[in-house]
Each structure stands twice: as C-alpha cells, then as structure tokens.
Chains A and B, each alone.
Chain A
Amino acid sequence: MSAAASSPPGEPLLRVEELRVEFPSEDGLVHAVDGITYQVHSGRTLGIVGESGSGKTVSSLTTLGLTRRQGARISGRILFEGQDLVTLPEEQLRAIRGNDVAMIFQDPLSSLHPLYKVGKQLIEAVRAHRDVSKAQARARAVELLGLVGIPDPARRVDEYPHEFSGGMRQRVMIAMALANEPKLLIADEPTTALDVTVQAQILALMERLQRELGMAIVIITHDLGVVAEMADDIAVMYAGRIVETASAARMFAAPEHPYTWGLLRSIPRLNGPREEDLVPIPGTPPSLISRPSGCHFHPRCPYAQPDHARIDPPLEPVPDEPSHHVACLLEPDVRRNLWVQLRAGSTPEQALAEVEPPVAPA
C-alpha cells in the first residue's frame, strides 16, 4: 500500500505489551482485556477483529486513557513513541489525546454534540492543542471539511450535526480527528453504522488521508471485509485476548485458529459457489466475568478435545512463520489439514472426519 508498508519497519510507533484491563462490577471482575500485545508502525494499518465484547474497543479506549475514570484496573504497558501511556499523568495524556493520537467512533451522530455547530466542534479540537485565534481555527475547520470531501465546507461549517447525512457525519468525525495531524488514528468500527456504498467511500478516504499524512491506523471492526480492504496486519481477538495475529495476506490465505476460520466462513463471497451456505459460529461470546476454563474458545470450537478445557494455550509463532502467531492447542499439521478441508467447502464435521485419525480423542 504505502511506501512504509514495504520498507522494513524500525521502531514501532505504538507498542502495547501485556495490556490487561479489568472493571470491577456488581457481578464480579470483568476481564475486558486479558494481556494483549501488538504493535503498529507509522504509515501502517493494524486491523483488530472480533465479535462485540471481545475487548477490542476497551483496549483502544485505554490507549487514550479513556477507561481510567470508569474505575478500570489497568496493567501492562502502552508505549507510544517510547512514553508509557498507562502511567502517564492525566494532564500529559490529555496533551497527546486528539493531538498525536486521535480516535473516531462507531456512531457519528451520537459522537457529535447535537447542540453545537460542527464548526465549533472542529475549532475546539484545533484550539485544544494549538494556540491559534478563533478565526485561524475556523479557517482550519473549513480546510479540514474540504480535506475529507465535504462539499461547500465554508457554508456547512455553520450547520449542526443533524443537518448532515450519516456518511457526511463520519467525514466530520474524521476531519475532527485529523485536526492536529495525528501520528496515530484509532478507528473504532468507523463504518458499521453506515450504508455499504458509504462504507467504501469512508474507507477510501481513510486510505487517502493515511497516504497523505503518513499516519498509522488501528482499525477496530467485526467486519473482515473492512480489514481485507484496509489492514496490513490483523489481530483477531476473542474474550479479551489476541488468539491469532499475522499479516493480512497470510491471515486470509492460511488462517490457523478455528475462530478465525469461523469468522472467514461466516462472510459471504461473491466468487464462491452459489449453493455454498454461510456457516455461523455456533454459540455466543463468553461472559467476561466467568470465562470458560482452558482455551476460552473451546465451548464453541468444533475441533476441541477434552483436555482443551484444561489447558490455556499461549500465543505462539506458527512453525516456519515467525510473524504469524496463534493460540491454539491443535497440532500444526492438524490445523493445516483442517483448513485445507474447510477451504474446499467441507463442513467442520466433514473436515474433522477427514483428519480424524491424528486427532483421536485423548
């Protein structure tokens, strides 16, 4: 994609290490994020994929320090340009928020203040970090609206959010995030609330702006189509953990985790056989208060063996693929055989029967 993507990455812009976020609640401790590690380089895009409740949003909000006042217990490190954002005092963190690290959210209507003109909201974003006059900030606001492709920005800067369409609102959110040319943009489900055609426009806009500004993007989504479009690297999250991480190309060509297989097989493909059924992942995401023992995915995994309810798999490199990590207890060749079967159109049961001898119940 960009020049930075093909060059060998140096020091990452953002490095999250063993991040753990827990919320005390009346029903018990919510393990929202359970020791995740990832990194993003300037100019690159990381896609974090998972179902709702997998901890992907909480981990990003924590990057900006936005879970602190909710009483979250946070441990681990979030290194941004060498500074640990977990321990940074609030006032210094505020100087980074919206300046070096910006975030856009899922629902642009509720994320914009309904009673303020978009111009005012943009001016605020500029003036929070730059000592400029109102007139200068306003000029910048108009410029930003033009940059994100809003027609007639000089007029629309004086309109209220409810006077914009959904796609245009998300453009306003993006303009606001870009107000101070951040080095890192975190986009939390930026297209989920939008029409499909508008989704494509917003993604294209983000890619263009990334090329122009050279920023890193972390895009959080449940939609594999979005990460296929945008991401250089992908991390798949399940129950507060990263269960698989690889380059985007590798993730789509040779996924290793049964949960990733499930995600891939539950999206429709235009070039697939017409009679091919979509395969949903059975069951529901686990409660983050009382998570399943062993491998957290085992209750929903068609290939789970009895001892998988006991052993908690670590995230380990795949043999011969040091940049591809997976947390799965199945043997590597079993996983590969299963995926070959699944890709050929077998159901999980058929695939399992095919590969049965090596994975006979313990």
Chain B
Amino acid sequence: MIRYIIRRLLWGVALLVIVAALTFVLFRILPTGNPALLRAGRDPQPKLVKEIEGILGLNKPLLVQFWDYLKEVFFHFNFGYSYYSQESVKSLIAERLPATLSLTVGAAVLWIVSGLTVGVLSALRRHSFADRVAMGISLVLISAPEFWLGLIFLYLFASDIGVVKIFPGSGSYVGITSDPWKWFTSLIMPWVVLAAGSAAIYARLMRGSLSEAMREDYIRTARAKGLPEKDVVRQGVRAAINPIFTLFGLEVGLLLGGAVLVETVFNIPGIGELNYKAIQSSDFPVTQGTVLLAAMFIILANIVVDIAYAYLDPRVRYS
C-alpha cells in the first residue's frame, strides 16, 4: 500500500511537469501573449520592449525559460512574480485560497447532504409523486448554468439589488477570521448556487445506484433475516455510496482549483477569480501558478479517492 501511494505521488509530480510545460508553451505562443508589449505603454518603442523582455527574462530561449521556471517551482516552491503587481504568485494564491476553500467546502457539504437525502428518498419511493417532482426539479437544476442561476439569485435575494432583500449581495465576502457571521451570510447564496447543480446530479445518481442496490440478493437476505426496514435500507445505501464517493472526491478537487463562474458572479476573491483576471491581462506567472495549483488538487483528489476506495470496498486491493 505504501509503495502504491509513493508510486502514485511520483506519477503525480510527472503529471504536474507536463501540465506546466503545456501551459508554458500555450501562453507564450498566443498572439496577444507578449507581456513586454502590453507593459510598454500605448505606442511602444522597440527598444523599451526589448528592455522589458530582458527584465522579465523573455529574451532567453523558451527551453531555458521553462527550465528556470521548473527549478524555481519544484526546488524553491517559488511560482514567480506577477507581471503587474510584482507580488509573488505564492502569496497571491495564499491570499485567495481561503475564499475558494470556504466556497468549495460549504457547497460540498450542502450538495452531498441534500443530494443524497433526496436521492435515497426518491429511490425508496420510486415513481411516487414526490419522486417525480424531485427528479423534475433536479433536471432543471442540472440544466441551469451556474452564472445564470447566480444572477437570478442576486436579482431575487441580494440585499442591495434584490426583489426580496435577504442575503448580502455580490462583493460582500469577508474572511472568516475578520467576521465569522458576515463570512457565513455572504457565502449562503454562492454555496446554494454552486451546490445546486451537483446536488441534483447526486440525487439522480443516488436514486439510480440505490434502487439497483435494493434489488440485490443481499438485500433479500437482510430482509429474510428479519432486519428492520431502516437497517435494510442502510445496507443498500452502504453499497450504493461507493461510486458516488469517487465522483465527489474528483469534483471537490476540481473546485479547489477555483470555481471561476460563481466566484466571478458573486465577486468572491478566490483562486478562480484570480485566474480569470490573470488570463485577461496575460499575467503568465499568475496563470501558470493557478493552473498548476488546480492540477495539483485534481491529482491529489484522484490519489485520495483511490486510496480511500481500498477502505470503502474491502475487495479492492492495490499492489
């Protein structure tokens, strides 16, 4: 098992190098991609551009630039400096990570609890009126784009522009350490909007997975033993949860890399928003840093899911 984990981690590092290489090349061959040109003012003198290129190290061969970058990232944990604010990318990310973390964790709790509850109840009352309503609503939520849902929520409930002024609106996010209550209220709408689509997907998945499990022979055995129905259902849920857990781990990993749409709509200073702005202004080091961070979260989530699976399902063994 230890050997398996080490092997997976090494592969993860290799993958990160590949991701770094891809983003590195991609952003440097874009036509608008010369940051020296962008920084040299409105009518740039070629001499000034050359000078700036020299300062940023852009005149070196691409391979050398890439090697310099990798050295800094992997040996000094230094992701470079923003072309614009000169701040270190590391501190920019560290500043933004709590907001993304708050958003993702809160939404994840919300969608897993609500999705699974609705899914279980629907599975146990298949084709009932409540099941049909729940599945109908879930279809709407799956189809609704996050940014659209976000705008609708702001329009309906935001304390500044809303029809019914209940929740703090866009741009109201504060850190949990400065004011926990404000932190909580400002995140309610983003949590709901981010969780809605996933909750709907989980509800449908759980419904399918559990109704399948409830037809298994071991459920018949559980009933034949004379177990109370709630214990019978628990056995079904235990078997139905595994595939959902896999998806959950990957999705959380993905969101930790930044929930771009929701962060942008609600103006939450998170990783997604940082990345979005960096791409707009061709701020390579920042983009590169956020992309690497996102890739790292996804790779880690994959490894965690695979390892956890060995505990969730005793039949799975790694060597």
Contacts and interface: CB of A to CB of B under 8 A. Distances in A.
Given A66-B220, A110-B217, A115 B314 contact: yes
Contacts of B47: none
Contacts of B238: 113, 115-116
Nearest to A96: B226
Contacts of B220: 61, 66, 105, 111
Contact of B225 (A61, A115, A124, A160): A124
Contacts of A156: none
A291 interface: no
Nearest to B242: A115
Contacts of A124: 222, 225, 227, 231
Contact of B228 (A94, A107, A173): A94
A98 B226 contact: yes
B223 A97 contact: yes
Chain A's interface size range is: 20 to 34
Contact of B224 (A66, A114, A129, A162): A66
A97 B221 contact: no
Contacts of B7: none
A103 B235 CA distance: 19
Contacts of B313: 114-115
Majority secondary structure, B binding face: helix
A95 B226 contact: yes
Interface in A96-133: 96-99, 102-103, 105, 107, 110-116, 124-125, 128-129
Interface centre among A107, A110, A179 (most CB of B within 10 A): A110
B216 interface: yes
Contact of A125 (B216, B225, B228): B225
A64 to B, nearest CB: 6
A97 B225 contact: yes
A64 B224 contact: yes
B133 to A, nearest CB: 22
Most chain A CB within a 10 A radius of its CB, from B216, B218, B227: B218
Interface in B174-222: 216-218, 220-222
Contacts of A94: 226, 228
A111 B235 CA distance: 12
Most chain A CB within a 10 A radius of its CB, from B217, B221, B239? B221
B314 A162 contact: yes
B315 interface: yes
A103 B224 contact: yes
Nearest to A176: B225
B314 A105 contact: no
Contacts of A111: 217-218, 220-221
A174 to B, nearest CB: 12
A125 B315 CA distance: 23
A129 B314 CA distance: 28
Given A160-B314, A162-B315, A112 B218 contact: yes
Contact of A110 (B216, B227, B315): B216
Contacts of A107: 217
Nearest to B236: A113
Given A105-B221, A113-B218, A115-B239, A128 B314 contact: no
A128 B218 contact: no
A257 to B, nearest CB: 31
Contacts of A128: 225-228, 231
Contacts of A179: 225
Contact of B239 (A66, A113, A160): A113
Nearest to B314: A160
Nearest to B239: A115
B199 to A, nearest CB: 25
B213 to A, nearest CB: 10
A114 B218 contact: yes
A102 B221 CA distance: 10
A234 to B, nearest CB: 24
Nearest to A70: B215
Nearest to B222: A113
Interface string B233-271: 001001100000000000000000000000000000000
A161 to B, nearest CB: 9
A124 B312 CA distance: 20
Contacts of A125: 225-226
Contacts of A66: 220, 223-224
Nearest to B213: A113
Nearest to B220: A66
A98 B217 contact: no
Contacts of A95: 226
Contacts of A115: 238-239, 312-314
B311 to A, nearest CB: 10
Contacts of B224: 64, 66, 97-98, 102-103, 105
Most chain-A Cβ atoms within 10 A of its Cβ — which of B220, B231, B313? Answer: B220
B312 to A, nearest CB: 8
Contacts of B235: 113, 116
Contacts of A113: 218, 221-222, 235, 238-239
A99 B228 CA distance: 13
23 contacts: A64-B223, A94-B226, A94-B228, A96-B226, A105-B220, A105-B224, A107-B217, A110-B217, A110-B218, A111-B217, A113-B221, A113-B238, A114-B218, A114-B315, A115-B238, A115-B312, A115-B313, A116-B238, A124-B225, A124-B227, A125-B226, A128-B228, A160-B314
Given A66-B223, A113-B239, 12 more contacts: A64-B224, A105-B224, A110-B216, A110-B217, A112-B221, A115-B238, A116-B235, A128-B225, A128-B226, A128-B227, A129-B226, A176-B225
Interface of A: 61, 64, 66, 94-99, 102-103, 105, 107, 110-116, 124-125, 128-129, 160, 162, 173, 176, 179
Nearest 6 A/B pairs, CB to CB: A98-B226, A97-B226, A98-B225, A110-B217, A113-B218, A111-B217
